[in-house]
Structure 1
């Protein structure tokens, strides 16, 4: 083993990780085991174990990472209390005269869930569990219903306060505040692209609900006896949240009094005020992302007190699932810290950079190669795992090519999001399978995702051609 060349180390490491993932080990555990074994082989048992422990501790000893659990808690409080669903109902009522409004709402909800949860899988599950059955009931094309949810769920990865963006910045050594703000305009561009796809689809190909003559029509829960939401049976965090979504939707379906409608509008205004306020704190340099996250949690708690939604059950569920999500993310980060040390120590990083830059000296082609790599990885791995696996390999190339690290990070994160919905193994495809009509095959689901993938690819091309879209807001900070 000692005579293995650097590229051989990289191949061996990737092969070991692939074997453990194929055996259904969680990404964090697979990364930890393979990295620790690599450290022991490279440095010897004693020094290898010592390096493993020190790397895990140092990987988490970053002040910026404390923003992650607080932003997750903010979203959990909104969801568990039901305020998020009140706001969604207000939007649905406001668009009741718009053809195909539920598909447009899925885009808006994707943006909202992105801000509140920062998780693509959670957003896709939430949208799928609440909107797909309702669109089926109202006669929408199954492909339009599933496709709009698949595309919109990915907005969670790019819009602030995205967990993926925070992890990227903290790990790559890029300022997290500017990186979060840089995602706003690209996220809006992606949402506009999805809305255009929905509008063209509904206008030229039909398959969308026409304006309802029932003015009080609102979201309803999926029909009893349907497929169980992913994670519900196993006790995963998403299951209880989807149950709450359906319960809230059932209540909102009958909420047609002026007082109830006014309450939904106030919920929407309160949420938007907190979200915009947090972003402005970061944009104008008044607070760091961690301080802004703390303000967001405090404001959310105050809002729940005003609405009399801050119950013991809400707090217990919110804290419970915040701890579960944070623990998973932090374990992946700690494991990836060892991975980065082993790659650097074995010389694999240098060898990889020399190999990639040896293929071409054209910066644009180098960028395309890296984009293809992350899209392929997105077919098999969770987004944070992809970030932590690629950063040690990509950032030296970024330095060689002279890319702006903030611009590069945003483009890579959009590409990772594309991977989650790309056939045949994109992870979001298998999440949405749980909620798609039984008449749809996996082939139909693949086809429903294609227009939204094309929209994202167009957005990436625009961001490459006009870097100012990404760098404009950070430059104002």
Structure 2
């Protein structure tokens, strides 16, 4: 059982170094390089470097910089803020309007950023002051903001989906397409909960707008606002997914089209200038470099598992002692949930995917279906009380009167909704598999 000892030491070391505050990519590089040197010496290190180089050259990761550029342009040009303002006009009569706007806008930004923590921080700073001023309850305010951040893991296009596909060896296009219906399911469940809660208890989200405001924005005005500020953005998203789904182009070509379309929208909205180009290039370089460092570091971890025989032997032990597909799925999901409480999504992917995917294949589990459930469980762990990381990010951008207790109370209903969504997807796997089967 030498491989088991190595696996335990390796994972324990990774978690310990991350708790010291070392960035994820450098944590994996440090631990895996030391492990490879101790086990295999200089020759092992050379092989490790070649493996990282090979990982970075995979075509599966080519969409990442283009998706990052698309998000940077939409965010830095102010198109996202413009979309939020327009959504505010269109959904004015809906109970819990600002919470609904947060969820819709969060879904858009989340799909571009791919980071639930970044999304929570941004919308906490952007929406919380206005929601608190309008008299929204602290629980409704914080809960909807955290939930909007959670959508980053599942709504396509998402950089983390691309990263997951590359690390796990799964078709990126299939995951992106397979995540569409589950993402919409979660969004509908979130909005449904907010609207129903505010109808039953109007004090959660008082309607304080003046009647004169309603007279200014007629239905024709709302339609014009939708066509001007929201429809073009939706068309870009539909086109990106449509290119992949129809087979016209690869995920890389779809992502590059999305980046070009983002710049064209910035020109149309008269927001394009040299400063925007410089900001988006620098921002995308920083984000892409970080993601590619994480990806290359994951290659080293996978190499250690392969060279020591840990992944192969773990699969053999599990398949010899567990015959139930449902039981092994339950065990993997529990591990994901627990790790999600205190680790970032990228770190969990890098640790779990090299171990889980051989098991998934050995038990005949649909890899696209598993990948989508994997993504949802990652987001659940991020805002599950009492130690989910998004809870503390939310607290860091909240005013002093908003306590951690308020945030936890606001997050619990959305955790329950996420678990319900996982159960629905397990019982009805076609929610995930139907669209990829048409590719």
Q: TM-score with structure 2 length normalisation?
A: 0.94
Unaligned residue ranges in structure 2 (runs of 5+): none
Unaligned residue ranges in structure 1 (runs of 5+): 218-254
Residue 451 to residue 260, structure 1, CA distance change in 2 (3 Å): closer
Range moving further from structure 2, 271-280 or 112-121: 112-121
State whether residues 172 and 251 of structure 2, in contact with CA within 8 Å, keep that contact through their aligned partners in structure 1: yes
User: Are positions 1:400 and 2:362 aligned together?
Assistant: yes
Q: Which residue of 1 aligns with 2:176?
A: 180
**3-state DSSP class of the match of 1:174?**
coil
Q: Distance in 2 between matches of 1:261 and 1:409?
A: 38
Deviation at 1:363, TM superposition (A): 0.8
Q: Distance in 1 between matches of 2:212 and 2:314?
A: 60
**3-state DSSP class of the match of 1:433?**
helix
State whether residues 110 and 155 of structure 2, in contact with CA within 8 Å, keep that contact through their aligned partners in structure 1: yes
**3-state DSSP class of the match of 2:94?**
coil
State whether residues 11 and 351 of structure 2, in contact with CA within 8 Å, keep that contact through their aligned partners in structure 1: no
Which of residues 27, 32, 36 in structure 2 aligns to 1:39?
A: 36
Q: Which residue of 1 aligns with 2:209?
A: 212
Which of residues 120, 126, 137 in structure 2 aligns to 1:124?
A: 120
Residue 106 to residue 355, structure 1, CA distance change in 2 (3 Å): farther
Which of residues 99, 102, 108 in structure 2 aligns to 1:106?
A: 102
**3-state DSSP class of the match of 1:191?**
helix
Q: How many residues align?
A: 436
Q: Which residue of 2 aligns with 1:197?
A: 193
Q: Which residue of 2 aligns with 1:435?
A: 397
Deviations 1:224-273, CA, capped at 9 Å, x for gaps: xxxxxxxxxxxxxxxxxxxxxxxxxxxxxxx99x9999577513121111
Deviation at 1:369, TM superposition (A): 0.8
Deviation at 1:454, TM superposition (A): 0.4
Q: Distance in 2 between matches of 1:266 and 1:369?
A: 48
Q: Which residue of 1 aligns with 2:49?
A: 53
**3-state DSSP class of the match of 2:21?**
coil
Deviation at 1:328, TM superposition (A): 1.0
Q: Which residue of 2 aligns with 1:15?
A: 12
Deviation at 1:324, TM superposition (A): 1.2
Residue 86 to residue 264, structure 1, CA distance change in 2 (3 Å): farther
Pick the structure with more helix per residue. Answer: 2
Q: Which residue of 2 aligns with 1:25?
A: 22
Alignment of 1:207-356 (within 5 A): 207-210=204-207, 212-214=209-211, 216=213, 265-356=227-318
User: Are positions 1:5 and 2:2 aligned together?
Assistant: yes
Q: Distance in 2 between matches of 1:426 and 1:75?
A: 26
Q: Distance in 2 between matches of 1:351 and 1:137?
A: 58
Range moving further from structure 2, 334-343 or 308-317: 308-317
Q: Distance in 2 between matches of 1:321 and 1:72?
A: 8
Deviation at 1:114, TM superposition (A): 2.3
Deviations 1:396-427, CA, capped at 9 Å, x for gaps: 11012111111111111110111111122222
Range moving further from structure 2, 258-267 or 407-416: 258-267
Q: Which residue of 1 aligns with 2:424?
A: 462
Deviations 1:204-231, CA, capped at 9 Å, x for gaps: 34311226225549xxxxxxxxxxxxxx
Q: TM-score with structure 1 length normalisation?
A: 0.87
Deviation at 1:168, TM superposition (A): 1.3
